Amino acid sequence: MSVRIIIWTFLGLAVSMIACTSDNKVEAPDVSDVQLNYEVARFEQMLLSMDTTKVIEELERIELQYPAFSEIFFMQVLPLKDVDSQETFYIGIRDFIKNPYIQSVLKKINDKYGDFSESTKELDQAFKYYQHYFPQWEAPNVYTFISDFGYQAFMFDDRGKDGIGIGLDLFLAPEFDYKSLDPTNAAFSDYLTRSFTKEHITKRVMEQLLDDKMGVVKGNKLIDHMVHNGKKLYLLDLFLPAKHDTIVHEYSEKQLKWCEQNEINIWAYFLDKKMLYSTDPQMANRYTRPAPTSRNLPADSPGRTGNFLGLKIVKAYVKNNPTENIIDMLSLTDGTEFLKKSNYKPPK
C-alpha cells in the first residue's frame, strides 16, 4: 500500500451557507450535536513499548489491530536499511526500538505528549466543524508515530476511511533544537521549525484533509495558486475558529502585522510587475510556497504573501456574493474569474 492522495469532488455535497461577520473570522456555528466516529492511535507508544524478545508476536498483534497504518509505517516510513528478508526485517525493527537515540527522542515525545488529551480535544472540535460544513465527510483516524525525523504528516486510505499520520518527533519545538540534527538541511530552517509545535498539530491535520479534498490547483497562473491557497486558508478558519491567525498562516505576530499593514503595497507590487497572470512556475513557488521572505519585497515580509492576498480575495468574494454557498465558491476554480467576481480592493 502506498501513501496516496484520494481526490474527492466538492460537487453535489450539501453544506452550510457561508456566514461572515467580519473580515477576520467567520461566526462559529454550534456543533455540540455533531457525532464523531474516529480513533487516535498512539502508534509510537505501542511500538516502542514492545517486548523485544518477542518481536514477531508483538508485531503480528499490532499489524492485526492496525493493518493499513502498519503496512505504510513499516514499509515506507520507518528508516530501515539493508532489509532483504523477513529475518532482517525483524532484526531492523528490534534494533530501531532498542536504539538509545530513538529511545531518547521517545522520552522527549512522552514528556510533551504523554497526555494527548489537549490535542485530542482540539481535534474533536475541528472535526465537528469539518463535518458540520461538509456532512458527507467523516473525521479521519489519527495515528501518532516516530519516524526519526522523516515525516511530519501524511494521509492514507485506512481500510475505506481517511487516516492521517502525525510524526510527533517533528512537533517538539520550541524545546527541541532541530538545527542540531543537520545544520545544512533546509527543512530545519527557523522559518519552518517555528511551526513544529504542539499548537500546530490540529492545523496540520486539517491541512492534510484539505489538500486531499481540494486536490491540485486547476490552473497555472499565479492568481490560480493564490485563490486556491486562499480557499484553503478560509476553510482552515472555518475548522479552527479559535486558532489565532498566526497559527493558520504560520506567521509570527510581527510578520502577520507586517502583512496587514502592507496589504495594499503587496497588491500594488503584484500589479505593477504584472505577476497575477504569469504562468511561470517559479512565480508561484516564490509567493505561495514556504520561504523566509517574499522575493523582492522588504526583508520584513514573510513568505507566502500570495496566499495572504489569496485569503483576502476569498473573503471579498464571500462578502460580495452572499447568495452563494461554500460549494459555489469552491467550484469556481479559474483564478481570473474568481478575482473579478470578488471585486477585491485592498484597504487604503
User: So what's the pLDDT on residue 348?
Assistant: 84
Share of the chain above pLDDT 70, in %: 93
pLDDT mean across residues, the chain: 91
Total-model pTM: 0.91
pLDDT tens digits along 255-312:
999 999 999 999 999 999 999 999 999 999 999 999 999 999 999 999 999 999 999 9
Phi, psi at residue 205, to the nearest 5°?
-60, -50
What is the Cα–Cα distance from 143 to 141, expressed in whole angstroms?
7
Helix (H, G, I), strand (E, B) or coil at 319: helix
Helix ranges (H only) for the chain are 43-48, 55-65, 67-72, 86-98, 100-113, 117-133, 190-193, 201-214, 222-239, 245-249, 253-261, 263-272, 281-288, 305-320, 326-331, 335-342
Phi, psi at residue 8, to the nearest 5°?
-105, 155
209: confidence class by pLDDT, cuts 50, 70, 90: very high
In the chain, helix, strand, coil percent, each to 5?
55, 5, 40
Kindly report whether the peptide bond that precedes residue 67 is cis, defined as omega within 30 degrees of 0.
no
User: So what's the pLDDT on residue 24?
Assistant: 58
Strand bridging mode 40-42 / 162-167 = unpaired
What is the Cα–Cα distance from 158 to 173, expressed in whole angstroms?
29
Residue 15 confidence (pLDDT) above 60: no
Does residue 217 or residue 15 have the better pLDDT? Answer: 217
79: confidence class by pLDDT, cuts 50, 70, 90: confident
User: So what's the pLDDT on residue 267?
Assistant: 98
The DSSP symbol for 73 reads I
Residue 82 confidence (pLDDT) above 80: no
